[in-house]
Amino acid sequence: MCLAVPGKIVSINGDDPLTRVGKVSFGGIIKEVNLAYVPDVEVGDYVIVHVGFAISKVDEEAAEQTLEYFQEISEYTSV
């Protein structure tokens, strides 16, 4: 099974579209992500990330809803 997770871009480094990376927040956890597949994203945008690559841009409402679902799942599994 594959899992892609939404996150918010908090910073971007690099000018080359193939090697550009961003720091992405996943509910407060910051990870570095390759942005080669989404050259038009900017700081503040939400992206779907799979195995370290942002694979598409997603609207804020959908991203926040998904992150809420993950939080709910986490609360149920930690009981």
pLDDT of residue 33: 98
**pLDDT grade, residue 67 (50/70/90)?**
confident
CA distance 73 to 55: 24
What domains lie within the chain, and their CATH numbers? 5-77 (2.30.30.140)
Check residue 69 and report its DSSP letter.
H
- The whole-model pTM stands at 0.85
C-alpha distances (whole Å) from 27 to each of 10, 14, 36, 71 are: 12, 24, 22, 9
Return the structure tokens found at 66. Answer: 């998904």
C-alpha distances (whole Å) from 44 to each of 11, 23, 75 are: 8, 11, 27
pLDDT digits (tens, 9 = 90+) for 30-63: 999 999 999 999 999 999 999 999 999 999 999 8
